[in-house]
Amino acid sequence: MRKKIVAGNWKMNLDLDEGAELVNEIFKGLPVLSENCQVVIAPPFIHLKETGEQLTGMIDVHLGAQNCHHESSGAYTGEVSAGMLKSAGVEYVIIGHSERREYMKEDDAMLAKKVNQALTNGLKVIFCCGEPLEIRDNNTQNTYVESEIKAGLFHLSEKQLNNIVLAYEPIWAIGTGRTATSEQAQDMHAHIRSVIANQYGEDAAYAISILYGGSCKPSNADELFACPDVDGGLIGGAALKAKDFLGIIEAMANS
């Protein structure tokens, strides 16, 4: 059975005290989860050590980072390598988020290198894809997302794919309060699974977790997670409030 995952991407929010408090509250409210359910918390780099220490003993909650550099080391002022993340106890890294593609000009070739760095250093990857509004309006979202997945992942072996989680995040739904309908989410997730099946076969496609991201909150999580190809969520704004994040985790547990 493939994993269900709710991952919180804090983006550039919360200072150290606020972050520690949030993790503490999540810890207090965390429901008992079945074996195939996982929670990931991806705070800014500076939180990682402390958050990791807080997560010790919380077997269902895993530590994630929001980015890594595409080279292993060197003169890249201000950057953090996948090896450094691993040494800090990180298990997952988000790669290809639309905010990094847009604001940091991360292109397909760089993202493929980041994926390689992450896997080489024993990290699991949450690889993001998703179309901007004009692509959705032209109804060309399927080919757009397919090309992001091909460019970022298709150089990997089937074995390497075991360490990849996909996240479909329609850009027009991120932080906008506008969510994809469950039908739009299901259609795209099924398409993504077929893209994986064409390259890697049905078994690999069945096994890979595909998360939905974009204004996911407790009030819509039940409906989204009920879709057969939606295996959880990558959560931004609602991951910053314990009550909301816990509500989404509950929705995963009940789905």
Q: Which is nearer to ligand 13P, 175 or 201 (CB)?
A: 175
Q: What is the rounded CA–CA span in Å between residue 182 and residue 128?
A: 18
Distance CA 237, CA 222 (A): 17
Rounded Cα gap, residues 153 and 108, in angstroms: 10
Max alpha carbon distance in the chain (Å)?
A: 48
Which residue out of 47, 62, 70, 97 is catalytically annotated?
97
Helix residue ranges, H only, 30-138? 48-55, 82-87, 98-103, 108-120, 133-137
Name the phi and psi angles at 171, rounded to 5.
-60, -35
Q: Which of 125, 234, 248, 252 binds ligand 13P (CB under 6 A)?
A: 234
Binding status of residue 209 toward ligand 13P by CB under 6 A = no
User: In the range 173-202, which residues lie near ligand 13P by CB under 6 A?
Assistant: 174-175
Name the one range near ligand 13P by CB under 6 A: 28-36, 48-56, 78-86, 234-242: 234-242
List 121, 184, 215, 220, residue binding ligand 13P (CB under 6 A): 215
- The DSSP output letter for 235 is E
Task: Tell me if residue 97 is catalytic.
Answer: yes
Q: Is 202 a catalytic residue?
A: no
Say how far apart CA 25 and CA 41 lie, in whole Å: 13
Instruction: Give the list of residues 6+ apart from residue 246 with CB closer than 8 angstroms, or none.
Output: 26, 29, 30, 31
Q: Is 68 helix (H, G, I), strand (E, B) or coil?
A: coil
- Applying CB under 6 A, the site for ligand 13P has a residue count of 14
Of 106, 148, 169, 250, the active-site residue reads 169
Residue 232 sits in the site that holds ligand 13P (CB under 6 A): no
Task: Find where tokens 């990791």 sit.
Answer: 52
Instruction: Show the binding pattern over residues 139-178: x = contacts ligand 13P (CB under 6 A), - = does not.
Output: ------------------------------x----xx---
User: What string marks each residue from 65 to 104 as x (binds ligand 13P by CB under 6 A) or -?
Assistant: --------------------------------x-------
Q: Among all residues, which ones are annotated catalytic?
A: 97, 169
Residues lying near ligand 13P in the complex (CB under 6 A) are found at 9, 97, 169, 174-175, 213-216, 234-238
